[in-house]
Structure 1
Amino acid sequence: MRGNAALATGMTSLLLFFSSMPICQAKLGLGEPKVSQIEFYMHDLLVAEKPTAVIVAEANTTKSSPTLFGQVVVVDDPLTEGPELTSQVIGKAQGLYAPSSQSEISLFEAVNFVFTDGKFNGSTLTVMGRNTILHTVRELSIIGGSGTFRLAHGYILKQTYSLDTTTGNAVLYYNVTVIHY
């Protein structure tokens, strides 16, 4: 009996908390949430005159791992409107990724998209998640943002547009759905 009372009290507390969120948003002057759709390309350049993705750590076993497990890569990749590196630059992807599976090719990613031009200039989106790079379309979570994207949440759908298997350089297409205030 005591367990049921505790459960009921806990559920009531959660219900009150979540029902008060719109009131808190109104008091903060956030207004109604907006949904933005954004498309862009990211250029991950491991081998270039000026690389934008740099391996900063490797485990002793990384070179013998078929998945590169234990490697850490830091990125400062350009974001462009089109798939060509000469397209209009709209920002940077800054963060890191690391192969995180010993049995399949997948990455853990934590990246900030820093917009430096266009409609979202001065704003950021923070993205985190698992990228199973052999899948055609991958989904990662938007876990925050700043500027226009304050209190952002949503998801990105990521696809490999092109990949140079000799250098590892890649162009990735992003279709972003973000909910913000």
Structure 2
Amino acid sequence: MPTSLEYYVHVGFALPSLGTLIAPIDSSGSTGTFGQTQLFAFNVTEGADPTSYSLGSMRGYTVQASSTADFHGVEVEVLTYDDGSLNGTISLQGLINAGTNEIAIVGGTGDFRSARGYAIITFLNSTATVALYHHQLFFL
């Protein structure tokens, strides 16, 4: 198993893969979007350019866990990874917000079997249709 990995996640806003599974608990808006749950499936690439080498996909869900206007979500992600040398899945989870986040690596399969460690997720930029995130994974 490697000691670290890095890749880029391209979050498409208008894609059907970013859909609301469960609506907010209070639809009047007095608690923000608390409880809203979204499923996602995004492309993962070697570089920041969306046409760079594809490494796989990031799938999972986020549950809004704040009843105020600031965003805090509980996120569960599964990275399907294949760079031609390493192949498998990596499971990540943690509390995220609008800034840079550290979440836990809680397992994996294939070349990442029993993976443990942490990931640093950094927002880089966005357009009207896509947000770009840099993920750095560190294995213990």
TM-score (norm 2): 0.87
Q: Which residue of 1 aligns with 2:131?
A: 170
Q: Which residue of 1 aligns with 2:109?
A: 146
One-letter amino acid of the structure 1 residue matched with residue 125 of structure 2: S
Q: Which residue of 2 aligns with 1:42?
A: 9
For residues 125 and 60 of structure 1, the distance between their equivalents in structure 2, rounded to whole angstroms, comes to 31
Give how far 1:87 is off: 1.4
Q: Is the 8 A contact 1:62 1:71 kept in 2?
A: no
Percent identity, aligned pairs only, is: 24
Q: Which residue of 2 aligns with 1:55?
A: 20
For residues 151 and 129 of structure 1, the distance between their equivalents in structure 2, rounded to whole angstroms, comes to 18
Q: Is the 8 A contact 2:126 2:132 kept in 1?
A: yes
Moved over 6 A (4+): none
TM-score (norm 1): 0.69
Q: Is the 8 A contact 1:62 1:69 kept in 2?
A: no
Alignment of 1:122-161 (within 5 A): 123-133=88-98, 135=99, 137-161=100-124
One-letter amino acid of the structure 2 residue matched with residue 41 of structure 1: Y
Greater share of helix = 1
Computing the radius of gyration from Cα coordinates, the structure with the larger value is: 1
Is 2:79 the counterpart of 1:113? yes
92-101 vs 62-71, which deviates more? 62-71
Q: Which residue of 2 aligns with 1:86?
A: 51
Report how many aligned residue pairs link the two structures: 139
Alignment of 1:57-76 (within 5 A): 57-59=22-24, 61-62=26-27, 64=29, 67-76=32-41
Deviations 1:14-56 (A, max 9, x none): xxxxxxxxxxxxxxxxxxxx552111001111214xx432222
For residues 54 and 87 of structure 1, the distance between their equivalents in structure 2, rounded to whole angstroms, comes to 26
Cα distance change of structure 1 residues 67 and 85 upon mapping to structure 2, 3 Å threshold? farther
Gapped runs of 5+ residues in structure 2?
none
Q: Is the 8 A contact 2:24 2:33 kept in 1?
A: no
For residues 115 and 46 of structure 1, the distance between their equivalents in structure 2, rounded to whole angstroms, comes to 22
Gapped runs of 5+ residues in structure 1?
1-33
Greater share of strand = 2
Cα distance change of structure 1 residues 66 and 85 upon mapping to structure 2, 3 Å threshold? farther
